[in-house]
Amino acid sequence: MASIDILNTDKKKVGTMNLSDEVFGVEINYPLVHQVIKAQLAGYRQGTAKTKVKSEVRGGGRKPFKQKGTGQARQGSVRSPLKVGGGQNFGPIPRSYEQSTPKEMTRGALRVALSDRFKANHLIVIDEFKLGEVKTKALSEILRKKLGLDKVLVVDDKNLNLELSGRNIANVKVLRTEGMNVYDIVKYNWLVMTKKSVETLSARLVGEKS
């Protein structure tokens, strides 16, 4: 079982904690992570694109010009896909892009992403974020100046001041433990978790695996 230092918001060591090998020490499986991220991003797509086919275009009740004598190709309706403003053949219709992903596959990819961050030394565990008020500047100073990080995913259990303080900081995202997902872990260079969130997430993933 591996261990990691616990830091305070001044980047001073205040203790250590053990990390579960079932969560932070699994074998790296990039194809699994890729598959889950593809499914996650596909689920974000709205699927509302729509074009009209010939039968849905208004007008075209009469023949636009006589059959013979004009020198033009024969036309029966201005709604034809051959005409400007006519219907479109094989255009997009509303659909769902959602991909079915087994829960254990998603959990496995989450374990792989967490293990990758730990093995790359891009996981930082903080004892707790004590923010007495919503203050974007205070959180920015902690992450940028004291911890020296950029492009950070911050994870904590319910901490409203932390969530609101991080909303307007570029390249920073704050999530609750239950919102942890593979895409955000991979997207951000650094993963900062509170001690409590590590314990909560580990208990959940180990329990789901057994």
Residue at 62 is within a domain: no
Q: What is the pLDDT of residue 209?
A: 57
* Res 208: pLDDT: 61
Domain co-membership, 136 together with 203? yes
Q: Residue 53 has what pLDDT?
A: 92
**Whether residue 191 sits in one domain with residue 121:** yes
17/39 same-domain check: yes
Q: DSSP string of 81-133?
A: TTSTT---TT------------HHHHHHHHHHHHHHHHHTT-EEEES----SS
- 3-state class of 162 per DSSP? helix
Range of the domain at 79: 46-57+73-96
For residues 86 and 40, state if they share a domain.
no
Which residues in the chain come in under a pLDDT of 50?
210
Instruction: Clarify whether residues 128 and 164 are in a common domain.
Output: yes
Count of structural domains within the chain: 2
pLDDT tens digits for range 188-205? 999 999 999 999 999 999
Predicted local confidence at residue 60, as pLDDT: 79
The CA angle 171-22-117, to the nearest 5 degrees, is 25
